[in-house]
Amino acid sequence: MKALPMEIARPYLLFLGDVPDALAAKTATGIVDWRKDWCVGQVRLDGCAADTGLKDMSISEGSAAGAKTMVIGAVNAGGRLPDHWVDSVVEALNAGLDVASGLHVKLGDVPAIKEAAAKNGRQLHDVRHNSMTFATGKGIKRPGKRILTVGTDCSVGKKYTALAMDKAMNERGYTSSFCATGQTGVFISGRGLSLDAVIADFIAGAAEWLSPATEEDHWQVVEGQGSLFHPSFAGVTLGLLHGSQPDGFIVCHEPTRSKMRGVETPLPTVDQVIDMTIQCGKLTNPGIRCVGIAVNTQALDDDEALALLAKLGERHGLPATDPIRYGMEAVVDKVSAEFGTP
Amino acid sequence: MKALPMEIARPYLLFLGDVPDALAAKTATGIVDWRKDWCVGQVRLDGCAADTGLKDMSISEGSAAGAKTMVIGAVNAGGRLPDHWVDSVVEALNAGLDVASGLHVKLGDVPAIKEAAAKNGRQLHDVRHNSMTFATGKGIKRPGKRILTVGTDCSVGKKYTALAMDKAMNERGYTSSFCATGQTGVFISGRGLSLDAVIADFIAGAAEWLSPATEEDHWQVVEGQGSLFHPSFAGVTLGLLHGSQPDGFIVCHEPTRSKMRGVETPLPTVDQVIDMTIQCGKLTNPGIRCVGIAVNTQALDDDEALALLAKLGERHGLPATDPIRYGMEAVVDKVSAEFGTP
C-alpha cells in the first residue's frame, strides 16, 4: 500500500449536467439519500431532467456556500465527458474546488482539466480508476467484526442494504462504519475504491485494505459486489469475500428477476448463495454465517411482499426484510443474538 | 476487444543477462523446455550463472541467425531492469529485433528503450501488462472443447501439466492447442496474456477471449492460475474457471506442501478442489468433470511416488500421474473414454 487512500474533501457540490432523465443522475441521488448533510447544493445545466431536491446554484455560489469538491453525479450517454461539461469542471477548479468523477474517462486525461487542476493546485478524484498499489491478500484474521452484503445477482440492493445496516447498527448502539467498494459508495463514505477497477491479482488485497483492522468491538459493514453466481463478475465477488473475511453476511435478492443482469444465466436461489458463500468464506473466516435476507420488494404489493418475506424467513430460519420498506431492525436483532449486544 | 491480441514474432533470441543462479532464468528455461525449435540461441552477459543449453551468441549474431524477437527470459533481484540490461535491449532494437519482457517494469517506460523502439519501428511486448480492452464475460457456451488445469495451490505445475496434456493430446491424434494465461506461457504459445494483470471486472471476459470458439472437435488446454482455495488469488481462479468453461479439468498437486504459497492458509485436499471446481464450474458448463490428477512427485522416490499416485487414483476413480515422470497418457485415455476418440 504505497499510495494514500482516496479521501474526498467535503462538503460536496453535486453536478448533474444536462442529463435527459433521473436515472442518469443516480449517483447524485444516492449521495443525497445517504449524505444530504454533506451536500451544499446541485448544479444543473439547461435542459437537465434530473433533480436531487437540493438547492440549485451556480458553481461560484456553491464555492461561496463552502463546497470543497464538485462531484460529477451523473453520466451522459456513452459515459464520456462532453465538451460543455469540461467547461463546468474547469470553472469549478478555477473556483477553488476539487473535482470527483465516477465516469469511465479520467478527468486528468482531458488536457484542459489537467491544466486547470495544476494551475489551481486542486485534486482530481477518478473513483472508477485506481492508482493505488496494494499488497496481495494475506488471509490472516484481523481484529474487528465485519458484515458483507452478497447477492443473487448484480444490482439487487447490496449497497443500499449495507448503508441501511450500518445506520441501523449505529442507531442500536453499535459502533459501525460503512466500507465502500463501488463508485457511488465511495462518494457516500468519502473513502474506498471501485473494487472492480483493481488489477485482478490484488482484489483480495484491496478488500483487506478497505476493511482494515479495527477495535475488536467495531463493526464494518462492507458493500458487496457482483455475485458468486454471475459469470462476468464472480471473481471480484470471491476476492471481496476472502479479503473482507466477514463474520456475518446478508443475502440481497430481487424476486422478479429470472436471468442475471446482462447475461443469459438463470438466477441462483437464496439457498445456493448462502451455501456457496459459507463454503468459500470459511477459508478466511471459519465462523462465517448468514445473518439475514434483504429483498427488494418494489414490484410487489404489501401483502405479496410480507408473504414472500415470511416464507423466505421461515425456510432459512433467518430474518428476511426489505431494507427500504421494513428496515433492518430484525437483522440487527439477529446480529445481537449471534454476536452479542453492544 | 478493441486491441489486437499479443502476437510475438518468432524465432526468439533468449536474453539471460547476468543472473546469479538458474532459478532467475526459469522463464528462458521454460521456453526451451517446450519450444526449443523457436529459439536461435541465448545471450549471456559476463557473470551469468544460468544456462539453457542453447548456443551462446551476441545480439548481432542472433539477428544474423534470423531471430525476430529478443525475449528477456530472466529476472534480476527486485524485478527491475538494470542499466546494463537496458543497453542490451537498445542494442537488440537497433539490430532490428522486437523485444519481449515478463518483468514488472514496462519496457516502454524506460526512455532509452522507448526512443530506440520508435526509431527502429520495433514492437515492445510487456507480457505482464495488458493494454487490451475486453468485453465482460458472457457465460454463453462456445463451440469447441476445453480442459483447464486447476490446483491445490499456486506453483504446483499447472502450466507444465497443461503443456504436457496438449502435447499428449496432439500425439494421440486430437487437434489441440495450449492457451496461455501467464507470462512464460505467453512466450511458449506466442499468444495469450497474463490474466492476473487484467482489470478485475474483465477476468472472465479475458478468459473467454483467450479460449475462443473453435471447431467443435478442437481441444484447448488452458493453463490454470492460482487456486480456488488461495486467499490472495482465488478471484482470478474463479474468473478463469467461469470464462474458460472447461469440459474437463485436471487437479494439480504438490504433496509435500502444508501451507499455501506466501500465506499461512493450509492446503486444501484434492477432494475439496474437485468438489469446489465442479460446483463453481457448472455455472458456465453443466457437464464439467474431473479427468485426472497431476502430482509433482519430485520430492519422492519412485516407490513413494507410485504408491501415492495409486492411492490418489483409487480414491477418486481417476488417473493420477506425474506429468514429468510418468506422462499424460492415462489422462488422455480418460478423456477418450469420457468424450470419445479423435
- B200 and A238 in contact by Cβ < 8 A? no
Decide the pairing of beta strands B248-253 and B175-179.
Answer: unpaired
Cβ atoms of B138 and A232 closer than 8 Å: yes
Q: Read off the pLDDT of each residue in B135-156 and give the average, rounded to a whole number.
A: 95
- What ipTM, to 2 d.p.? 0.90
pLDDT of A4 strictly over 70: no
Distance between A291 CA and the closest CA of chain B, angstroms: 23
pLDDT of A3 strictly over 80: no
CA-wise closest residue to A63 among A25, A94, A36, A85: A94
Q: What is the DSSP letter of B21?
A: S
What fold does the segment set B145-339 form as a domain? Answer: Rossmann fold (3.40.50)
pLDDT of A196 strictly over 60: yes
Contact residues on chain A for B2, CB-CB shorter than 8 A: none
Q: Read off the pLDDT of each residue in A96-125 and give the average, rounded to a whole number.
A: 94
Angstrom distance (rounded) from CA A111 to CA B240:
37
Residue of A nearest to B244 (CA): A231
Which position has the higher pLDDT, B98 or B131? B98
CB atoms within 10 A of CB A18: 17
Q: Which residue has the cell 532494437?
A: B93
Q: Helix, strand or coil for residue B298?
A: coil
Cβ burial of A264 (10 Å; 0-12, 13-18, 19+) is: exposed
- The pLDDT tens digits of the residues spanning B216-245 come to 999 999 999 999 999 999 999 999 999 999
In this structure, what C-alpha cell is assigned to residue A33?
439519500
- The pLDDT tens digits of the residues spanning B243-294 come to 999 999 999 999 999 999 889 999 999 999 999 999 999 999 999 999 999 9
The residue length of chain B stands at: 342
- B279 and A276 in contact by Cβ < 8 A? yes
Nearest CB partner across the interface for B139, out of A201, A264, A280: A264
- A196 and B198 in contact by Cβ < 8 A? no
Q: Which of A44-48, A190-194, A249-253, B26-30 has the lowest mean pLDDT?
A: A190-194
The residue length of chain A stands at: 342
| Two domains, one topology: A12-126 and A145-339 | yes
Residue of B nearest to A226 (CA): B201
- Report residue A5's pLDDT band, with 50, 70 and 90 as the boundaries: low
Cβ atoms of B214 and B258 closer than 8 Å: no
Q: What is the CATH architecture of A12-126?
A: 3-Layer(aba) Sandwich (3.40)
Nearest CB partner across the interface for A200, out of B235, B283, B284: B235
Angstrom distance (rounded) from CA A279 to CA B234:
13
Nearest CB partner across the interface for A233, out of B140, B201, B265: B201
Residue of B nearest to A140 (CA): B264
- A136 and B262 in contact by Cβ < 8 A? yes
Single-letter residue type at A136: T
Nearest CB partner across the interface for B199, out of A199, A204, A265: A199
Q: Read off the pLDDT of each residue in A118-142 and give the average, rounded to a whole number.
A: 89
Residue of B nearest to A134 (CA): B232
Angstrom distance (rounded) from CA A180 to CA A49:
28
Contact residues on chain A for B231, CB-CB shorter than 8 A: 137-139, 204, 242-243, 283-284
Cis status, amide bond into B20, omega within 30 of 0: no
CB atoms within 10 A of CB B173: 11
- B199 and A203 in contact by Cβ < 8 A? no
Best of A126, A152, A227, A236 to disrupt the B interface (most B CBs within 10 Å) is: A236
B197-233: buried (b, 16+ CB within 10 Å) or exposed (e) per residue?
A: bbbbbbbbbbbbbbbeebeeeebbbbbbbbbbbbbbb
Cβ atoms of B110 and B124 closer than 8 Å: no
- Report residue B67's pLDDT band, with 50, 70 and 90 as the boundaries: very high
Q: Read off the pLDDT of each residue in B130-151 and give the average, rounded to a whole number.
A: 91
| Residues in B lying within 8 Å of A, measured between beta carbons | 136-140, 195-201, 203-205, 228-229, 231-240, 242-243, 262-265, 276, 279-280, 283-284
B89-107: buried (b, 16+ CB within 10 Å) or exposed (e) per residue?
A: bbbbbebebbbbbbbebbb
Angstrom distance (rounded) from CA B3 to CA A326:
49
Q: Which residues contact B111 (CB under 8 A, 6 or more apart)?
A: none
Cβ atoms of B146 and B219 closer than 8 Å: yes
- B196 and A198 in contact by Cβ < 8 A? no
Beta bridge partners of A242: none
Q: Read off the pLDDT of each residue in A203-224 and give the average, rounded to a whole number.
A: 96
- The pLDDT tens digits of the residues spanning B91-125 come to 999 999 999 998 888 999 999 999 999 999 999 99
- B231 and A205 in contact by Cβ < 8 A? no
Nearest CB partner across the interface for A242, out of B197, B234, B280: B234
Cβ atoms of B184 and B194 closer than 8 Å: no
CB atoms within 10 A of CB A338: 13
Give the pLDDT confidence score for residue A134 in this predicted structure. 85
Q: Which residues contact B42 (CB under 8 A, 6 or more apart)?
A: B13, B14, B15, B16, B28, B51, B52, B54, B55, B56, B57, B73
pLDDT of A2 strictly over 50: no
pLDDT of B164 strictly over 90: yes
Domain-by-domain residue ranges, chain A?
12-126, 145-339
Give the pLDDT confidence score for residue B334 in this predicted structure. 98
Nearest CB partner across the interface for A283, out of B229, B237, B283: B229
Best of B105, B142, B203 to disrupt the A interface (most A CBs within 10 Å) is: B203
- The pLDDT tens digits of the residues spanning A15-27 come to 999 999 988 999 9
Contact residues on chain B for A276, CB-CB shorter than 8 A: 279-280
Give the pLDDT confidence score for residue B128 in this predicted structure. 84
Contact residues on chain A for B198, CB-CB shorter than 8 A: 199-200
Cβ atoms of B224 and B294 closer than 8 Å: no
User: Edge-to-edge, what's the strand order for the sheet holding B248-253?
Assistant: B175-179, B218-222, B145-151, B248-253, B289-295, B320-321
pLDDT of A139 strictly over 90: yes
Contact residues on chain A for B262, CB-CB shorter than 8 A: 136
Distance between A206 CA and the closest CA of chain B, angstroms: 10
Distance between A171 CA and the closest CA of chain B, angstroms: 34
CA-wise closest residue to A15 among A2, A7, A6, A24: A24
- B140 and A262 in contact by Cβ < 8 A? no
Decide the pairing of beta strands B69-72 and B218-222.
Answer: unpaired
- Report residue A291's pLDDT band, with 50, 70 and 90 as the boundaries: very high
Cβ burial of A182 (10 Å; 0-12, 13-18, 19+) is: buried
pLDDT of B3 strictly over 90: no
Mean pLDDT over the full length of chain A: 94
Angstrom distance (rounded) from CA A332 to CA B6:
52
- The pLDDT tens digits of the residues spanning B175-200 come to 999 999 998 999 999 888 899 889 99
pLDDT of B4 strictly over 50: no
Which position has the higher pLDDT, A24 or B148? B148
Angstrom distance (rounded) from CA B232 to CA B263:
8
Q: Where are the alpha helices (DSSP H) in chain B?
A: 26-35, 59-64, 83-94, 111-120, 158-171, 183-189, 203-210, 234-244, 270-281, 302-316, 323-326, 329-339
Single-letter residue type at A69: T
Angstrom distance (rounded) from CA A40 to CA A65:
7
Nearest CB partner across the interface for A201, out of B196, B240, B276: B196
Contact residues on chain A for B239, CB-CB shorter than 8 A: 200, 234-236
CA-wise closest residue to A105 among A138, A136, A83: A83
Give the pLDDT confidence score for residue B5 in this predicted structure. 53
- The pLDDT tens digits of the residues spanning B264-273 come to 999 999 999 9
pLDDT of A201 strictly over 70: yes
Nearest CB partner across the interface for B236, out of A200, A262, A263: A200
Angstrom distance (rounded) from CA A128 to CA A139:
25
Residue of B nearest to A243 (CA): B231
Best of A199, A240, A267, A277 to disrupt the B interface (most B CBs within 10 Å) is: A199
Cβ atoms of A66 and A40 closer than 8 Å: yes
- Report residue B2's pLDDT band, with 50, 70 and 90 as the boundaries: very low
- A232 and B280 in contact by Cβ < 8 A? no
- A201 and B234 in contact by Cβ < 8 A? no
Nearest CB partner across the interface for A201, out of B229, B236, B238: B236
> Across the A/B interface, how many CB contacts are shorter than 8 Å?
136
pLDDT of A334 strictly over 60: yes
